[in-house]
Structure 1
Amino acid sequence: MSQQQVTLKRALGFWQAYATAVGLVVAGTTMVSLGYSMGLVGPAFIVSAGIALLISIAISFSYAELASMMPGAGMIGEYTVHAMGRFMAVFAVLGGYIVLVSAAGAMESIVAGFSAKEMFSGIQPFAFAVFLLVLFLVVNLLGVEVFGRIQLVLTLAMMITTSVMGIMGLLQIGTVAAPQAPAFNPAGWSQVGQALALGMWLYIGIEYVCPMSEEVIQPEKNIPRAMILGLITIFIADMLFGEAIVRYVGLEKLVSSEVPQLVGAKAMLGTVGLYWMGFVTILASASSIDSHLAAIPRMLYGLARDGMLPRVFAWLHPRFRTPWAGIFVVFVCLFIPLLFKIDITVISTLILAACITWLFSYIIAQLDVIILRKKYPTMKRPFKTPIYPIPQIVGIVASVYMIVTIHPDPDMKRKIYLLAGAFTLAVVLYAVLWIKLKMKESLFEPQPLKDHMAQNLEGPSGSSMGV
């Protein structure tokens, strides 16, 4: 089968799409962040998380509309090339996603390794982290159907067990200590407002299902539903568990611990809780690694298909129909940080710096919707943002707010901005040199949408995209 005949395969239904959307969001680092945030703010963190949920739903509307217009694997790159040109498309993908994987993605496997060591002292965290990376490398090389089945099991196991553990704590079922009654808002409402960025971290990455749109059956329906249901169920599961643990362990202990979710689970349910939450954390990290290796290679595939990355990234394996080059590159990005001894402060700084470039990508997506609405007002949009353009405005303002308030400490904020600036400079240099010298194209001239659709969409939803 020639490469002209090899296309991505439509094999993912609604639940697999849901699992992909939730899989990255409910990560090992998210579980750590949830425990830390509950300790920092107290039970009132549910307000921060609730506001962040509404903002995330508003942002997801934009991704859902864009994905329904252009159900292509390139996702943000594919949307942006038609709205703002090639330079912004490359920046949105590389700055928003490759930077995050390179700077922070390996933290997921590290968190899983340390959780495994907490449960079984003989396990080496590095070896366990490498095992997870290699396992999901193979899973993603072998095809989207294998990915979909495994991701669904991981995601449902995480969501159900986290919710059940929270319910047990709240209802005092199987608990080993009497619950306390902490003040609802001990740090004051200003702290609730400042914790908005922490609340957003619970949901960031929900759009990871969009690059899978060429492999999702009826993407115009299943992708919006998967993202919105995913956000709501994440909020429910996280808040059940978070509101439970603050009744069994002091807030200051949650803030100071490197594994607050394990501390809370052990205080609530004893040794059973420790092993249970350790298992959930490993599942969460595994799910996140799986999502990184599935979604980002599809974005690179989309850019390469349009000539904005080396052509090798557009090559699909003839049998498995997966973008092997992109999968291997993401694997390397996830693996390299494991070779260095980095403390928690450096890791946190890298994560926050990468979050800034990710938030820029979110802003670009909101602008894409506004620009394309004006340029192509009559184009078919199977999913349209309700009460447009209010969700886009909310998404842009909220993203800018979180960039400005990324960290309360001025020195740390300066370091974060410097790192984010370095990441941005590297991406900008690549984009300018590749587009001007290799492609010999304009940086900011949008590509006509109708030409691109004719080139890349093989047929109607669910038909000729797959064999």
Structure 2
Amino acid sequence: MKADQSESGALKRILGLRSLFAIAVGVVVAQVVFISILQGVGLGGSHFFVALLIAFILTLCYVFTFSELALMLPRAGSISAYTEVAIGHMPAIVATIAGYLAPAIFALSAELFLLEAVLNSLFPESFTQLGWLIIIVLMLLNILGVDFFAKVQNLLAYLMIVSLLVIGIAGLSQSEPQGGSIISILEGLKDLDFDVLSLTMLALWSFFGLEFVCPMIEETKNPSKNIPRSMLLAAVVLLIVYALVALAGYLTVSQAALSESEIPHTVLVAALFGKSGKIVLAILAITATCSTINTVLATIPRMLYGMAHNGQLPAVFTKLHLKTKTPWVAIVFVASLIMIPTILLSGQDDIILTLVISAATIWLVAYVISHINLIVLRKRYPNYQRPFKSPWYPFPQILGIIGMVYMILNNSPSPEMTLQVYMNAGLMTLVATIYAAIWVKFKMKKGWFEPEPIEKALKN
């Protein structure tokens, strides 16, 4: 163990608030989010803006939870570190592998398929191997150092925010809008009913992944302030930005055109910018995909690195690059896993939505587990030092659990897709559970639901 530790060294603390904000929005500014936002507007009209607000409230619930957990247990393993102390090693492993690694594979495969579909519609057969190139380049940049990652991510994230603001403002300034009007939004709210909850899953995609700053906590400067601030700031900014994009779509394009298109952001950009929209859309698509993949290649490997230090994965995942101090084995492993579905499912663009909803469903389970972790740890360690405490505890956690469970049970537009989604999610969870059960019992020689004492967990 001593030899491994001296070889691996330690992660470098260089990330400030600006970089953490870029990480927090990194997963969220994805093309699949543009689709969910604009299709939500097409399906729900003015009601979707209420769904967006509900999704924002559920987001604040998990932001409060992750902020407290991350600063109470400031480890790169993130949810695995919290769960092993709350409810044991087996659920900790399942929560990370099934709740984060598997969704990353599903979601990024969908994102790459979507990028290919958009670029092929704009420039047929011109970017056939772009997905592979993006993964390889970003993998190498992440290995080169967290400072390289931060610079690339800052550029991508802030460029995306500016681009979305431009689209939103352009939509508001249309002289002859072809969609609805501000007055029709207000009138539509008079008919609001519980059907708005069916739109919330689409809206919730706009806020998934803000907690991806937590695995970077060992590389964060002043984490007690910057971790909560980055997630809260990202949540507020994204609410404003995506509300503007949704409003631009509502005012500029008919609801039918948005709901019937598989890639509605192409419809909106074409309506706003005409022929020049091709270049705008290509830049938007490439930047969004790169931002999402870059964030995942930085954060998920840190989760695996933390799990390996806790004995939940093979020790090879603890290895850091001798010069750059990045978890290079984990980075290469995650990049390789992302490539597999893009090879096996190449050309099957019709499965994009199924992949996205499958990823979302498993991700929601991880959020439920995080809320349970906080409730358990509050009872087990009531006097433990907490640099951040969730406001209004336990109401955000209870609301978060109820909301996320509802979304899991109402996650797709058709019974056939629901069955496929549950099969995908169930298969990933089953594989993770089998691995966890065998590893914890025979390798770690611990009980499946035996919590790790918090003092011991922090020393690992």
**Which category of TM-score, normalised to the shorter sequence, fits these structures?**
over 0.9
2:395 is the counterpart of 1:390: yes
Deviation larger for 72-81 or 429-438: 429-438
Deviation at 1:262, TM superposition (A): 1.4
Deviation larger for 410-419 or 341-350: 341-350
2:14 is the counterpart of 1:11: yes
Deviation larger for 3-12 or 17-26: 3-12
Deviation larger for 188-197 or 25-34: 188-197
Distance of 2:317 and 2:406 partners within structure 1: 35
Deviation at 1:273, TM superposition (A): 3.3
For 2:412, the equivalent position in structure 1 comes to: 407
Deviation at 1:435, TM superposition (A): 1.0
Secondary structure at 1:195's aligned position in 2? helix
For 2:454, the equivalent position in structure 1 comes to: 449
2:19 is the counterpart of 1:24: no
Deviation per CA, 1:189-229: give whole Å up to 9, x if none. Answer: 44422101111111111111110000111111101111111
1:46 aligned to which of 46, 49, 60: 49
Q: Percent identity?
A: 36
Deviation per CA, 1:342-401: give whole Å up to 9, x if none. Answer: 534423223222322211111110011111111111111111100111111111001100
2:68 is the counterpart of 1:95: no
For 1:293, the equivalent position in structure 2 comes to: 297
2:423 is the counterpart of 1:429: no
Deviation at 1:67, TM superposition (A): 0.7
Distance of 1:334 and 1:69 partners within structure 2: 31
Q: Is the 8 A contact 1:363 1:395 kept in 2?
A: yes
Superposed, 1:16-415 pairs within 5 Å as: 16-124=19-127, 126-172=128-174, 178-181=177-180, 183-184=184-185, 185=188, 189-339=193-343, 340-341=345-346, 343-415=348-420
Deviation at 1:250, TM superposition (A): 1.6
Q: Is the 8 A contact 2:177 2:253 kept in 1?
A: no
Deviation larger for 271-280 or 299-308: 271-280
Secondary structure at 1:354's aligned position in 2? helix
Q: Is the 8 A contact 1:298 1:323 kept in 2?
A: yes
Secondary structure at 1:72's aligned position in 2? coil
Distance of 1:302 and 1:381 partners within structure 2: 21
TM-score scaled by structure 2? Answer: 0.94
Deviation per CA, 1:278-309: give whole Å up to 9, x if none. Answer: 31222111100001100000101111111111
Deviation at 1:419, TM superposition (A): 2.2
Deviation larger for 103-112 or 257-266: 103-112
TM-score scaled by structure 1? Answer: 0.92
Change (3 A) 1:390 1:245: same
Distance of 2:67 and 2:199 partners within structure 1: 27
Amino acid across the alignment from 1:323 = P
Amino acid across the alignment from 1:229 = L
Change (3 A) 1:292 1:346: same
Distance of 2:362 and 2:253 partners within structure 1: 35
Deviation per CA, 1:108-145: give whole Å up to 9, x if none. Answer: 22323333334434523x41111111111111111101
Deviation at 1:178, TM superposition (A): 4.1
Secondary structure at 2:280's aligned position in 1? helix
Distance of 1:88 and 1:138 partners within structure 2: 32
For 1:462, the equivalent position in structure 2 comes to: none
Distance of 1:65 and 1:119 partners within structure 2: 45
Q: Is the 8 A contact 2:36 2:203 kept in 1?
A: no
Distance of 1:191 and 1:118 partners within structure 2: 34
List gaps (5 residues or longer) in structure 1: 457-467
Secondary structure at 1:220's aligned position in 2? helix
Distance of 1:275 and 1:45 partners within structure 2: 29
**Aligned-residue CA RMSD (Å):** 1.8
Distance of 2:309 and 2:341 partners within structure 1: 29
Amino acid across the alignment from 2:330 = G
Distance of 1:113 and 1:265 partners within structure 2: 17
Amino acid across the alignment from 1:443 = W
Deviation per CA, 1:121-173: give whole Å up to 9, x if none. Answer: 4523x41111111111111111101101110111111111211221122023x
Q: Is the 8 A contact 2:76 2:306 kept in 1?
A: yes
List gaps (5 residues or longer) in structure 2: none
Deviation at 1:412, TM superposition (A): 2.1
Distance of 2:389 and 2:401 partners within structure 1: 18
Amino acid across the alignment from 1:160 = V
Distance of 1:164 and 1:102 partners within structure 2: 31
Distance of 1:226 and 1:189 partners within structure 2: 34
